[in-house]
Structures are given as C-alpha cells and as structure tokens.
Copies of this chain bind each other. A is one copy, B any other.
Amino acid sequence: MKTGSGEERTSRLNALTLKDIREAHARIEPYIHRTPVFRCSTIDEICEGKLFFKCENLQKAGAFKIRGAANAIFSLSKTDAAKGVATHSSGNHAAALALAAGWRGIPAYVVMPENSPEVKKKAVAGYGAEIVFCKPTLEAREKGLAGVVDRTGAQFIHPYNDRRVIAGQGTAALELCEEIGGLDVVMAPVGGGGLLSGTAIAVSSISSNTLIVGAEPEKADDAAQSLKLGRIVVPENPDTVADGLRTSLGTLTFSIIKKHVSDIVTVSEEDIIRAMRTIWERMKLVVEPSAAVPLGALLSGRKDFRGKRIGIILSGGNVDLERLPWT
C-alpha cells in the first residue's frame, strides 16, 4: 500500500512552478537556516557592480544541499518514509540526506566507494547514516544502491534529478529574491543542475526581467556543451578543483535549464582559485571551490555586469583545510 504514489506519478509529469518551491520552503523552514545575504565593498569595487552573496556555506551541513534533501524527505508519505532513504553520492548530498533523515527519525543508507576519503566517511557517519561500501566503480555503486533499496525498501533520493530536490534547492533563490529586490542577474554554479534549475524556476517566476546565469569550470564544461548541442553531454573524468561540479546534467535539470537559463559561462581553474581566495580574504568566509565559480566569471571579465545588481549563490563551504588549492 503506497499512499500518494499515484498523485506523485502524475505530478512528475507537470512542470515545476514557484508554487512547488513555496511549498518546499514551508516544509523545510523549521529545520534549515535562513542564511544571510552578505555584501563586500572591495569586491563591488573590483567588479564595478553591486553583488549580493546568499551564504549557503553557512547553511546546516555546510551547503544548500540540505534544502533539497529535507524537502524530499518531508515530502514522503509516512509509510514510505518509515523504510528510509538511500543515495550513492559521497559528497554534500549524502551528508545532507543523513542529517534530514535524522530530523524525520528515519534511516538513511549511503553507498560509498571503499576508497572514499576518511573525512567524507566520517561526515556521513557522524550524521547517523548507515554506510554501505562498494568497489570504486559506477557499476558497483549502482549495484550497491539497488541492493540496499531491495533489502530495505528505502526510497532512492537522487542528488539532483528529482523534482522534490530541485524544488528544495530553489528555496535559496526564493529567500534571496524576497530579501533583495531589483536584481538584474542571479548567478549559480552548475554541476548536476539541481541548484541552477531550482534557482531558475524561482527567479524567472518572481522577477521575469532578471537574467539567470550558470557558471561552471572550463574543465567540466558539459552544461555549456549540452546547451549548445541540445543534448546532455557527459564529461569524461573532468579534472577540476571544483569537485562539486564534476557531474553531468540530468533529464529534468537539463529541460529546466534549457528553458530558463540565458547563459552558462565557463571559468578557468586559475580564476576559480583566485575567486575562492578573494572570498576568504575579503569576506572572511570559508567557501568551497565550486561556490567561487560565479565570482570567478566576474573577476576574470568573462562576464561583464558592470553597474548591475547581481545575486550570487555561495553554494557551500565544505573544504579540506589540509589541502587548499593555493598552497
């Protein structure tokens, strides 16, 4: 007896709207931080614009990911929820899923390659997830996940190609637009596209004149390529410091991005690191490389938004302090 699964199937066929994002916000608001919007006069001077940084690095579990994970988990029917949730991400999504599952009091299963860094294993275990180790291949991961779902009946929550997750990620831009009026541009990094597509739906509905721009590493420019070629391009072993942006788009995120995003700008490794360092030095904020990619596009002159009001989603702050990219 799966309550609501019929409705769910139908709603998957409908386009996501601002209403979904508002509902997600109401659902997750009691659990997440309403993160602050920071400004920095030095960076404004350098970019000759007015920049508004939405600080998701200060979010619970250190990244925007908790928004999508929490929305997915609190959207589950009681019966489905009881069996728990599962995923095979080893990054911020896994930690977020574990944390949100704890809030709902249900189990979380995370399939991880046995050679994952200790720090990631610890983070996920620290939030109370059960880790299922697998060989470090995509095949082994998928098999591991299928095994877990089979054994437990847990719901698989995809890190980005899931409308509940996308709606959750859109709540960051919703808060930004509610707080800061008259933005000319909103920029977000793009990896799998969950954050950018949620952002796109929120911003395009609230403020139809605002440009929505994605930013990704030159070395993982699959989203830009996908838009250009009209099909999802899968990058081959992308080697970028922005480790959160190595994934390719999903079918759902691609279709939303195609519709609402005016441009995807690519940024060199050097400019990503420079932007990251500028945020650390000038704003005194710990951000991960992925979060610095949009500012990298401005500092390098790849995007010229002089005189504009620019919102930037600082996506996260989970970084290995032993290995900083400038040392």
Contact = CB atoms under 8 A, between A and B. Distances in A.
Contacts of A38: 58
A100 to B, nearest CB: 15
A186 to B, nearest CB: 22
A128 to B, nearest CB: 14
A57 B281 CA distance: 11
Contacts of A284: 57-58, 62, 285-287, 317
Interface stretch (A247-255, A257-265, A319-327): A319-327
Interface in A274-327: 277, 280-281, 283-287, 317, 321-322, 324, 326-327
Contact of A324 (B62, B317, B321): B321
A317 B285 CA distance: 9
B322 A327 contact: yes
A46 to B, nearest CB: 13
Contacts of A327: 321-322, 324, 327
Interface of A: 36, 38, 57-58, 62, 277, 280-281, 283-287, 317, 321-322, 324, 326-327
Given A285-B285, A322-B326, A324-B324, 13 more contacts: A36-B36, A38-B58, A58-B283, A58-B284, A62-B284, A280-B286, A280-B321, A281-B286, A281-B321, A321-B324, A322-B327, A324-B327, A327-B327
18 contacts: A57-B284, A58-B283, A58-B284, A62-B284, A277-B321, A280-B286, A280-B321, A281-B286, A281-B321, A284-B285, A284-B286, A284-B287, A286-B286, A321-B326, A321-B327, A322-B327, A324-B327, A327-B327
